[in-house]
């Protein structure tokens, strides 16, 4: 701020007074604003009222002269839908609206929050559905040691239940300490440092990708257990399921929640019915176990095999952290609703996991390659009737949709990394439907590749699974131990004990999984974590380099040695400048222009320099060295200059305005607030509206653009300048030039 004020003083020394620049403007930059809700009168049978983006106009048969070109007859776009991006074909825009629905304003974010009844199935689907493969994964390891190995199923399951309760209580403390969302990345970064935070994020990202792949593969296995003829198409079915999840989540949080609530509740009902029916049947036998077929041990029973079974069974805990990551997605009071939902989720998870293990113990069922354990239990309790079909359908549906937990949390974690400059900044932007669309697309692609690479086999994916999630668990809970030790508020000793217990148990599972499953595929997850750390640190280093280059420095600003004064624009015959005279007041209404003058001005027929009347427009986002260079270039032309800033909300607009005033307000500034987070469309609409106001002017749009020396880093920077250049090319009498800033 001190440097900005200093640079402003240097500008004052060499630039004309701000009033001189404002009087030189040949246009009125204030084109109005959207009408208030009280001014909007919907049609008799509709909800949409078409109004001009630049001033209230009644819906009439003829479009407003201030409306941007390309809008529908009867007026420009409605205020509840984003203006069509002018650099995209209309067919593409209509297809997006058909698939995703109308764009939502940023003020709709509160309406996209989830209540507890929706949040429970949306955020708990991963954890609850894991009982469909977690117990089976544990038994598949124990059965290698024969009957003696199966005897350890109850003690191992009891240990896993205790671990579930400990981790659940630990994450309740995390939600209390971080009421705005305390995912493993935030907690570890705040309390343990940069690299532990990135390692926790790497574990989470790996876990979310595998969550999608494993959930889809287990869901397809449930389908093929009931319909064996579909077994040969398991990869195709899984890929189609991922595409459906992609489309649903791009529509936004609330829509995805409504879609995914019913299957999760149906699965819980089916599992509770299965457990009750199985226990009633076991009670009829006085809880005597049914002998299982004779088993031949293929491995010796030892501590290593028991630990492998424990690590495999612990995959039933994946997804417990999802609620602490998504606290801001709850309706107020967010943290209280999140803790309540977490308690319900852990309670249901314990009941379902323990119930399935008990049924397997009493029924004598063993894992089989042709049919899942749940399918065998359902056949035993319900036969092949409607309840069996319902159980299998609910299991398949919730497993196919359990990946939605990852679709909620993966983009959120990626956006936090982008906010901290550890990932490309495009992942921090929300899409039309208030979802992090770029992160959702990346997750779909990554999960689809993993699923296809492993041929959709759940058994092959499980060994990769535990490392990432328990790495995140361990670092998050260790971070909470440090948090309570530093804070030492009320009940801090109890909270520290809970989190220390959770951290210790998670570390045991992590080490166990890393050692026992290393050769089975855990090494892939470890390599992925290492690569993630390398990539994110390189991205951060690049952004730090660019930030240092762009940072304002008083002596780095080159200023001319003479005073810069804008030359007045001579208006065409019969038209005065914007100076308050009657003629200029008529100028503000484009309908006052004579049609012949409008037509002549639109022909771009200037053939000599004297006929060209200039106005320089400088779209600018931040007052850094690149922006200052663009402002200096525009002012040095000694033509009228208008600076345009597009803000995504009132807070951002106020913050930029304060910085602009601190700099000195040397040039005329017009702020545009874009409620749909779009930048290109509002700028083009505004520039076109200025052209309608003065068709005789040649508008020169001067864009600051960062040019990186190494092309591999170009994807890390905004493509706003090339997109705006492409969007403005079709407009008459608009010249686009870029002021490159090389880094």
pLDDT tens column, 192-248: 999 999 999 999 899 889 888 888 988 888 888 888 888 888 889 889 989 988 888
Band (pLDDT 50/70/90 cuts) for residue 337 is very high
Q: In CATH, what class is 120-544?
A: mainly alpha
Q: How far apart are CA 278 and CA 284, in angstroms?
A: 10
Delimit the CATH 3.40.50.620 region(s) of the chain.
2-26+569-742
* Region 536-558 average pLDDT: 83
Do the beta carbons of residue 703 and residue 686 sit within 8 Å?
no
Do the beta carbons of residue 197 and residue 536 sit within 8 Å?
no
The per-residue pLDDT for range 439-476, each reduced to its tens digit, is: 889 999 999 999 998 888 877 787 777 788 889 889 99
Do the beta carbons of residue 213 and residue 528 sit within 8 Å?
no
The per-residue pLDDT for range 488-502, each reduced to its tens digit, is: 888 888 889 988 998
Superfamily of segment(s) 2-26+569-742: HUPs (3.40.50.620)
Specify the pLDDT at position 595. 45
Band (pLDDT 50/70/90 cuts) for residue 267 is very high
Q: Is the pLDDT of residue 573 over 90?
A: no
Delimit the CATH 1.20.1740.10 region(s) of the chain.
120-544
Nearest to 325 by CA among 184, 466, 506, 115: 184
Q: Is the pLDDT of residue 328 over 90?
A: no
Q: Is the pLDDT of residue 593 over 50?
A: no
Q: How far apart are CA 487 and CA 476, in angstroms?
A: 16
Specify the pLDDT at position 71. 33
The per-residue pLDDT for range 598-607, each reduced to its tens digit, is: 444 445 666 6
As a whole-number percent, the residues of the chain with pLDDT over 70 amount to 80
Q: How far apart are CA 646 and CA 653, in angstroms?
A: 8
- 324 to 197, 237, 495, 585: CA distances (angstroms): 16, 32, 16, 58
Q: How far apart are CA 524 and CA 173, in angstroms?
A: 32
């Amino acid at each position: 701020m001190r440097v900005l004020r200093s640079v402003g003083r240097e500008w004052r020394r060499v630039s004309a007074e701000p009033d001189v620049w404002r009087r030189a403007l040949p246009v009125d930059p204030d084109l109005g604003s959207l009408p208030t809700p009280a001014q909007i009168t919907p049609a008799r049978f509709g909800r949409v009222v078409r109004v001009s983006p630049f001033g209230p106009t009644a819906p009439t048969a003829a479009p407003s002269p201030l409306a941007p070109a390309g809008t529908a007859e009867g007026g420009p776009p409605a205020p509840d839908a984003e203006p069509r991006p002018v650099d995209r074909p209309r067919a593409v825009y209509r297809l997006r609206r058909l698939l995703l629905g109308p764009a939502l304003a940023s003020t709709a974010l509160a309406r996209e929050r989830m209540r507890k009844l929706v949040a429970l199935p949306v955020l708990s689907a991963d954890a609850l559905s894991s009982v469909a493969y977690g117990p089976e994964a544990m038994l598949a390891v124990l059965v290698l040691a024969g009957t003696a190995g199966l005897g350890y199923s109850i003690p191992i399951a009891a240990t896993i239940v205790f671990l579930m309760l400990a981790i659940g209580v630990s994450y309740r403390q995390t939600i209390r300490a971080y009421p705005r969302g305390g995912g493993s990345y935030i907690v570890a970064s705040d309390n343990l440092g940069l690299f532990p935070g990135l390692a926790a994020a790497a574990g989470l990202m790996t876990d979310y990708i595998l969550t999608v792949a494993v959930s889809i593969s287990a869901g397809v296995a449930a389908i093929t257990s009931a319909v064996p003829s579909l077994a040969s198409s398991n990869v195709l079915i899984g890929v189609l399921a991922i595409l459906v999840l992609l489309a649903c989540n791009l529509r936004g949080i609330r829509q995805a929640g409504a879609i995914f609530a019913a299957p999760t509740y149906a699965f819980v009902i089916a599992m509770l019915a299965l457990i009750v029916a199985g226990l009633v049947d076991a009670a009829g036998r006085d809880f005597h176990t049914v002998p299982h077929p004779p088993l031949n041990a293929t491995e010796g029973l030892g501590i290593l095999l028991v630990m492998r079974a424990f690590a495999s069974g612990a995959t039933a805990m994946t997804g417990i952290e999802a609620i602490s990551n998504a606290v801001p997605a709850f309706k107020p009071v967010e943290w209280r609703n999140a803790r309540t939902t977490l308690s319900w989720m852990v309670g249901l998870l314990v009941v379902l996991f323990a119930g399935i293990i008990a049924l397997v113990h009493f029924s004598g069922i063993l894992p089989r390659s042709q049919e899942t354990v749940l399918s065998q239990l359902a056949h035993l309790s319900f036969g092949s009737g409607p309840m069996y079909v319902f159980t299998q359908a609910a299991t398949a549906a919730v497993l196919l949709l359990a990946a939605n937990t990852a679709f909620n949390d993966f983009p959120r974690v990626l956006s936090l990394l982008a906010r901290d400059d550890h990932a490309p900044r495009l992942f921090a932007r929300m899409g039309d439907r208030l979802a992090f669309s770029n992160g959702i697309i990346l997750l779909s692609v990554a999960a689809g590749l993993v699923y296809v690479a492993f041929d959709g086999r759940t058994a092959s994916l499980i060994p990769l699974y535990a490392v990432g999630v328990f790495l995140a668990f361990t670092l998050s809970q260790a971070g909470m131990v440090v948090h309570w030790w530093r804070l030492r508020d009320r009940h801090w000793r109890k909270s520290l004990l809970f989190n220390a217990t959770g951290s210790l148990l998670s570390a045991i599972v992590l080490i166990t999984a890393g050692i026992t499953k290393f050769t089975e595929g855990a090494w892939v997850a470890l390599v992925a974590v290492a690569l993630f750390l390398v990539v994110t640190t390189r991205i951060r280093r690049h952004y730090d380099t660019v930030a240092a280059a762009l940072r304002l420095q008083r002596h780095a600003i080159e200023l001319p040695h003479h005073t810069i004064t804008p030359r007045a624009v001579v208006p065409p015959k019969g038209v005065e400048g914007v100076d308050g005279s009657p003629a200029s007041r008529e100028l503000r209404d484009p309908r006052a222009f004579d049609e012949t003058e409008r037509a002549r001005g639109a022909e771009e027929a200037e053939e000599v320099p004297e006929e060209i009347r200039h106005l320089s427009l400088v779209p600018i986002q931040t007052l850094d060295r690149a922006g200052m260079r663009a402002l200096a270039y525009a002012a040095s032309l000694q033509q009228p200059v208008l600076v345009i800033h597009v803000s995504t909300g009132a807070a951002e607009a106020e913050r930029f305005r304060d910085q602009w005033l601190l700099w000195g307000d040397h040039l005329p500034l017009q702020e545009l607030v874009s409620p749909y987070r779009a930048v290109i469309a509002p700028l083009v609409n505004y520039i076109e509206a200025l052209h309608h106001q003065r068709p005789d002017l040649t508008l020169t749009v001067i864009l600051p653009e960062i040019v990186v020396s190494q092309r591999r880093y170009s994807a890390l920077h905004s493509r706003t300048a090339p997109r705006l250049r492409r969007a403005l090319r079709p407009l008459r009498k608009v010249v686009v030039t870029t002021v490159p800033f090389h880094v």
